[in-house]
Amino acid sequence: MQLLGYEALKTKGIGFSRPHIWRLMKAGEFPKPIKLGSSRNAWLESEIDAYIERKIAARDREVA
């Protein structure tokens, strides 16, 4: 199990701003983080990978 901090999300191709990520989470469209401390959050890499795969599948459905 791998945890990704905010900066590591960018290495996965997710270059959203923090406020945009929070808006997506509030809308139920982005995985929620794990609270590691009072001001430290991290996301499960497997959940981020699944999010990316869903986005790819949605794109492919639109093209078909």
- pLDDT tens digits for range 1-49: 899 999 999 999 999 999 999 999 999 999 999 999 999 999 999 999 9
Res 63: pLDDT: 75
Res 17: pLDDT: 97
- Model confidence at 60: pLDDT above 80: yes
Q: How much of the chain is in helix, strand and coil states, percent to nearest 5? A: 55, 15, 30
Res 62: pLDDT: 87
> Three-state DSSP class for 12?
coil
- CA dist 43 and 63 (Å) reads 30
Q: Which two tokens stand for residue 8?
A: 């590591």
- Model confidence at 64: pLDDT above 90: no
- CA dist 6 and 43 (Å) reads 8
- CA dist 42 and 35 (Å) reads 7
